[in-house]
Each structure stands twice: as structure tokens, then as C-alpha cells.
Amino acid sequence: MRDISARNLVSGRNNPIAFSLRGPNLDELNKQADQFIEYLKSLV
């Protein structure tokens, strides 16, 4: 996980936070990504 929003603090730009899931099992990554997206949706 990396917060790319801090890169443009001086310029005042608003950038989203980017997430990168990695691993050898594509099916498991898709499953985890879907769960993570649902979790993030529950926060707003």
C-alpha cells in the first residue's frame, strides 16, 4: 500500500490513494480485491 497523495502536497493537487495487491494466485487476488472494495465502500 502506498499513499501517492503526498507527492503533490506543495502544488495543492488532490490525488487518490492507490492500492496494489500482488501474489501468485490470481483467483485469490480477485477475491481479496472484491472483499477490500466492499470494505472501503462500507467506510463512506
Report which of residues 1 and 24 the model is more confident about.
24
- 23: which 3 cell numbers? 501474489
Is residue 5 within 8 Å of 15, Cβ to Cβ? Answer: yes
pLDDT value of position 24 = 94
Is residue 33 within 8 Å of 21, Cβ to Cβ? Answer: yes
Report which of residues 36 and 5 the model is more confident about.
36
Calculate the average pLDDT of the chain.
76
- Whether 1 has a pLDDT exceeding 50, the answer reads no
Question: Looking at residues 13-40, what average pLDDT do you find?
Answer: 84
The predicted model scores a pTM of 0.58
